[in-house]
Structure 1
């Protein structure tokens, strides 16, 4: 009888232990045991602490001392892993590893990046053990995220934005299907879109080239092709934004690096793929034609700093890409993108694919829109004469169309000239123009006081 009671008590204790162990396991995805050759991973977790960094934590059991533990990680859209060493704290057979990988400053990682990661454990005897591959998403930890999925597109959202997220996911998938064959890019690799509800949320997430940019611009979208991530600001133009940025991802995939592609071609394709096009670029293109201010494409590897000329550059780029596709077909364009993987000279690439150089192609385009032919300046022109010609440009004052003017959707690899001098939704005078006005006002005040003093005398 006593033996039976002891047996029941022991079983009861075991059941209670198993019950609590079960509760722990179902409430934590990070606590488990993985066994390798003489090493057991008792627990491990990855925590997003955006924007500061990513925290890796792991607890190992090993009777042999550990020499070091490295964690390897890479975006799922990349095949170039990075690694870093965990700080190890050992006590007998227990070894706790910790690493905080900073992502601020030059190590910026866009929120929504999906990473594959694994550990390589080296024992004191030199044995290396590689753990199995796992994945995690580097999220913006300020918010609780949900997601919707359409094909390879995942849209992450928070708050009452599910219906909008579904609409954007469908538009992005449609954009992939339309622009993928044109650019010659594969469209199966997943893309994550992180959707922000307002500008104050977006400011804390985007990669800004300067504090001035953060204060003065509303960034409506950014694309990171090497991470497979797009950031989008929700609003009335967000379908145009997401399809524009998705095209940048495809350009980066097709050409190997979006930096290989001149800005006019990159932005021209992105605007061609924009499913909610603004008419502002058409207006500025017409203005440039009427005032002989069209910019030669050989100068549009980056865009100018003047806000008016930026919009001209966007209008030209979209028009030129449309001309190339209408007259030569999408196959030529996809061949051009493929050629740019190995040839960074756009003139050589165009000549090989289209059988004519960039200047001739531009002349054909100009004729098609009724613009005068571009004649390159004579080599004898010195720098002073060139500067004088540039200074002939006048500031245009033209109100943007009803839908606004989106000039902020520029990939992070684009030039500082474009990003730092764009102004939010408006087209107006540059800062130097405002300084001249202040100087004139000061001179007028001095003259008034001078006359008043003379009258008193």
Structure 2
């Protein structure tokens, strides 16, 4: 026992033991420091609020989609308030609105933000806070709050899986599960072309009809639109009517729109500079069950020599239904040609080149060494057989057939006449003896 005590004392006196003790004390202080500072900060905040004499209660925002957002708060002040205002910040557009507000005798403040006068993008976020000037000249700013301008015309059902959130209002639970399954499979399809980034949520809102969807469209609301992406917001919308064909619609539309979000997250703020033909090209390639009409529309346009030049599809697509569908078909075929020829890494490099600010014609020159016009010519020859040596013959084939018929019929008549003159008794029968 005495030897053990001596050993323990010797160990305690050892420099390494002393250093270890100091190290443990230092580590414990490091752990306690944030807690202590947070407590002190909380005390300080409470003291500031108490000194300011302002207390906010029941702060909230009520959304009426298509009409406006109403901001409400209960305000208690121990010192008379000389002036009050609300500051609203549109996070999506980077626009700030500051308006004076009135506080009634019961301490209630209400401000109505009219989206008909101040257009607000669907599903965007509004942040707001209050500013007060007290009778003694003190200026106080409240905490900030936020609300998302969701389409609340419907009673949405919601299903979450990780950061993928599916919303629908028409259809049962199995409908929502089917949509979630398609979204997950769609991510696998998307991942073959661009990286998957799910660090932020992706909300999928499914509408039962195009009429219901139209109120959320940022464009003119063309009749053929069956979905739209809000890439910066991480929100996509799609029309899927519950019923026998719902899975096919899901497989075409949900991955298509999610691809826009993933492409945005790959190229960030330069997304809007990426040509429409490339954005829609990769989106159509992400579709799990693409429409067979893409190829039919493309071949029909080739045969009639009415392909839309890709330079016309850089900024926008045609508004007319048929021309718009052809634009999608061309974009899909051309992007697929680039993907097969150069691979996904260089295709993403092309998107990045455009995102960096290069124009539609010169973007491919930095990535592939050839301008867009040359790539288009190569695609037409290689993928569509247009402008190849056999193309003129293919175009002239119907006329050649007609010419042959015109020449052949008189020739047959002449031969028939000659045979009749050579054998006036009619045909002979050859009999082997």
Could you tell me the TM-score, scaled by structure 1's length?
0.64
Cα distance in 1 for partners of 2:206, 2:384 equals: 41
> Is it true that 1:192 corresponds to 2:192 in the alignment?
no
Change (3 A) 1:167 1:35: farther
- Aligned equivalent of 1:238: 250
Which of 129, 143, 150 is residue 139 of structure 1 equivalent to? Answer: 150
Say what the alpha-carbon RMSD is for the aligned residues: 3.0
Contact conserved, 1:220 with 1:238, CA < 8 A, in 2? no
Contact conserved, 1:86 with 1:97, CA < 8 A, in 2? no
- Aligned equivalent of 1:101: 113
Contact conserved, 1:194 with 1:231, CA < 8 A, in 2? yes
Query: Shift in Å at residue 137 of structure 1?
Result: 3.7
After alignment, is 97-106 or 317-326 more displaced? 97-106
Change (3 A) 1:114 1:63: same
Query: Shift in Å at residue 274 of structure 1?
Result: 1.5
> Is it true that 1:273 corresponds to 2:283 in the alignment?
no
User: Deviations 1:218-248 (Å, cap 9, x if unpaired)?
Assistant: 5421222233222222233133112111222
SS of corresponding position for 1:88? coil
After alignment, is 175-184 or 246-255 more displaced? 175-184
Cα distance in 1 for partners of 2:150, 2:320 equals: 36
Structure 1 residue runs without a partner (length 5+)? 1-33, 375-457
Cα distance in 1 for partners of 2:49, 2:210 equals: 47
Cα distance in 2 for partners of 1:233, 1:179 equals: 20
User: Deviations 1:340-394 (Å, cap 9, x if unpaired)?
Assistant: 22214022221111111112222222232143349xxxxxxxxxxxxxxxxxxxx
Which of 285, 298, 301 is residue 288 of structure 1 equivalent to? Answer: 301
- Aligned equivalent of 1:264: 277
- Aligned equivalent of 1:41: 56
SS of corresponding position for 2:103? strand
User: Deviations 1:56-101 (Å, cap 9, x if unpaired)?
Assistant: 11111122315333244455xx59464443522254xx64322222
Aligned residues: 329
Change (3 A) 1:131 1:233: same
- Aligned equivalent of 1:119: 129
Change (3 A) 1:186 1:100: same
User: Deviations 1:315-357 (Å, cap 9, x if unpaired)?
Assistant: 1110111111112111112222222222140222211111111
Query: Shift in Å at residue 251 of structure 1?
Result: 3.3
Contact conserved, 2:86 with 2:101, CA < 8 A, in 1? no
SS of corresponding position for 2:362? helix
- Aligned equivalent of 1:322: 336
In the TM superposition, 1:168-179 aligns within 5 A as 168-179=179-190
Which of 375, 378, 399 is residue 364 of structure 1 equivalent to? Answer: 378
Cα distance in 2 for partners of 1:186, 1:83 equals: 33
Query: Shift in Å at residue 202 of structure 1?
Result: 3.0
Which of 216, 224, 231 is residue 230 of structure 2 equivalent to? Answer: 224
Change (3 A) 1:126 1:338: farther
- Aligned equivalent of 2:220: 209
Query: Shift in Å at residue 267 of structure 1?
Result: 1.3
- Aligned equivalent of 2:15: none
Cα distance in 2 for partners of 1:230, 1:343 equals: 25
Cα distance in 2 for partners of 1:47, 1:148 equals: 23
- Aligned equivalent of 2:76: 61
Cα distance in 2 for partners of 1:307, 1:219 equals: 9
Cα distance in 2 for partners of 1:61, 1:290 equals: 75
Contact conserved, 2:182 with 2:250, CA < 8 A, in 1? no
Query: Shift in Å at residue 258 of structure 1?
Result: 4.3
Change (3 A) 1:118 1:105: closer
Could you tell me the TM-score, scaled by structure 2's length?
0.67
Cα distance in 2 for partners of 1:142, 1:309 equals: 33
> Which one has the bigger helix percentage?
2
Contact conserved, 2:86 with 2:131, CA < 8 A, in 1? yes
Cα distance in 2 for partners of 1:276, 1:156 equals: 22
In the TM superposition, 1:426-445 aligns within 5 A as none
After alignment, is 328-337 or 298-307 more displaced? 298-307
